[in-house]
Amino acid sequence: MKIVIVGCGLIGVTTAYSLRQRGHDVTVLERAEGPAREASFANGGMLTAGMCQPWNGPGSWRILLRSLVRSDTALQLRLSVLPRLMRWGTCFLRNSTAAAFERNCRSNLRLALHSLEAMHALREQAQVEFGRAARGSLGVFRDREAWRSACRETVQLFSDGLVARRLTVAELVELEPALRPIAHKLSGAIHYLSDEVGDAQRFCEALAKVARALGVDFRFGSNVRGLEMHRGRVAAVITENERFVADRYVIAAGAYSTALLKDAGIRLPVQPAKGYSVTFKEANSIVGLRRPMIDHDLHAVLVPFEDGSVRTAGTAEFAGFDSSLKPARVRNLLALTRELLPEAQLNEGSAIPWCGLRPSSPDGVAIIGATPVENLWVNSGHGHLGWTLAAGSARLFTSLLSGDAPDIDPNPYSLKRFS
Ligand SMILES: Cc1cc2nc3c(=O)[nH]c(=O)nc-3n(C[C@H](O)[C@H](O)[C@H](O)COP(=O)(O)OP(=O)(O)OC[C@H]3O[C@@H](n4cnc5c(N)ncnc54)[C@H](O)[C@@H]3O)c2cc1C
């Protein structure tokens, strides 16, 4: 089949590679000059089945309401975007009951475990290097009750294949001595044993190179202006100066997927959630962190990369498509880094700030597969887990589009769940 994919972030590039491996003829249209220049550029780097929870846990509405008057909450909502977020927000809140949260958590976990496996196979097959390290990840807790509750939730996920162990603070410090300076502030931790870390942007560059050698036609600098519709089907994808015709059209344009699908009359419930990171080059010689960790009370991840850099990432801001770097949010992330590494004395002046728009669905679960328009498909809405879920989503997507039996139940990821 001839397939055109719009978008060359983590999702577009893994989908292109997977479809090509299955024997399809693939063209990728990307407006940037290379792969992974938007949300996939400088993310937290964590391939994490352990932290598969959607953001809308029970009580998240309280955090969102508080964010309207405070600027230091983990989830930030801007008043100006409220009208546009009404429908999405209602669905977000509907999915924050305990039962919905648990169901969505399990859906993410199953796709994450499938993805870790798919990623191992992809690595073997494509021989891509992206600074992978597989020492697990750590969730650390300051609040004792939050730790206990997270331990209970984690145990419940063992039946779905999650592998993790509970750590006391003493055990944590023994495993990760870099955390000794904050040990007195912590109540406990969880070690997610199957989690990994790697540089997503490096991965995309490397995989695109392999895919190109296999015959995928990457058209960088191609801004898709819209879909040309004819008799309820997509007739072509239109860029600034070309028209691309295919058997199937795939929208993998991250947070921008919603606007593109509108041309076909499809309402995709994906909204941008802005996140920030700061990267300290060659800092791990001072920090000495061996595995990534998330501080659940500060809502920030601290990640050591194999090239010696250390990255802090966090914040989720519903502020529409404003992709500008706000100095206040960068300062906030630098302050969090100081809280996490009070003795490291990192050179903040040399920190590289970045922000990206996570493509977020209202239930926190990705949207993978067919749409009501027969030749138009979607792979988007991976939110804060797009790096973790990319390889498995691509594999699931390829099975569905090719009419093969999928390895996992595709229903939790279907767009139909919102109809
Ligand atoms: C601060 C931060 C930290 C994160 N940390 C982690 C983490 O630790 N682990 C994890 O699993 N996930 C993490 N994520 C989430 C992950 O990065 C995203 O889910 C993922 O990058 C989404 O990939 P994507 O391909 O869907 O979107 P993108 O990477 O945004 O790619 C979409 C592409 O489509 C292109 N495009 C859009 N519109 C058009 C058009 N009209 N024409 C042509 N091209 C178009 C864009 O240029 C872009 O290249 C993090 C995200 C952020 C922001």
pLDDT classification of 279: cutoffs 50, 70, 90:
very high
- Written as six digits, the tokens of 311 are 């990255």
**What letter represents residue 301's amino acid?**
V
- List of domains in the chain: 2-40+202-268+364-418 (3.50.50.60)
pLDDT classification of 382: cutoffs 50, 70, 90:
very high
> In this model, does residue 377 exceed pLDDT 70?
yes
> In this model, does residue 116 exceed pLDDT 90?
yes
Best mutation site among 223, 384, 389 for ligand 1 pocket (most ligand atoms within 8 Å of CB): 384
- Written as six digits, the tokens of 161 are 């294949």
Q: Where are the alpha helices (DSSP H) in 276-403?
A: 284-287, 327-340, 386-402
Rounded to the nearest whole angstrom, what is the distance from the C-alpha of residue 358 to the centroid of ligand 1?
6
Best mutation site among 18, 38, 228, 278 for ligand 1 pocket (most ligand atoms within 8 Å of CB): 38
Rounded to the nearest whole angstrom, what is the distance from the C-alpha of residue 186 to the centroid of ligand 1?
32
- Ligand 1 atom closest to Cα of residue 46: 8
pLDDT in tens, 120-135: 999 999 999 999 999 9
**Beta pairing partners, 224:** 239
Is residue 98 within 8 A of residue 66, CB to CB? The reply is: no
- Ligand 1 atom closest to Cα of residue 45: 8
Q: Is 403 exposed, middle or buried (0-12, 13-18, 19+ CB in 10 A)?
A: exposed
Q: Give me the pLDDT at residue 56, please.
A: 86
pLDDT in tens, 124-169: 999 999 999 999 999 999 999 999 999 999 999 999 999 999 999 9
Rounded to the nearest whole angstrom, what is the distance from the C-alpha of residue 389 to the centroid of ligand 1?
12
Nearest CA to ligand 1 atom 17: 40
Which residues have any ligand 1 atom within 6 Å of their CB?
Answer: 6-12, 29-32, 36-40, 43-46, 223-224, 252-254, 256, 275-277, 313, 356, 358-359, 380, 382-388
Determine the Cα–Cα distance for residues 206 and 127; give it in Å rounded to an integer. Answer: 9
Quote the crossing angle between the two packed helices 98-126 and 200-214, to the nearest 10°.
50
Rounded to the nearest whole angstrom, what is the distance from the C-alpha of residue 261 to the centroid of ligand 1?
17
Is residue 266 within 8 A of residue 227, CB to CB? The reply is: no
CA angle, residues 356, 358, 359, in degrees to nearest 5: 140
Stated pTM of the model: 0.96
pLDDT in tens, 85-114: 889 989 999 999 999 999 999 999 999 999
**Nearest alpha carbon to residue 357 among 276, 269, 274:** 274
**Three-state SS for 15?**
helix
> In this model, does residue 74 exceed pLDDT 70?
no
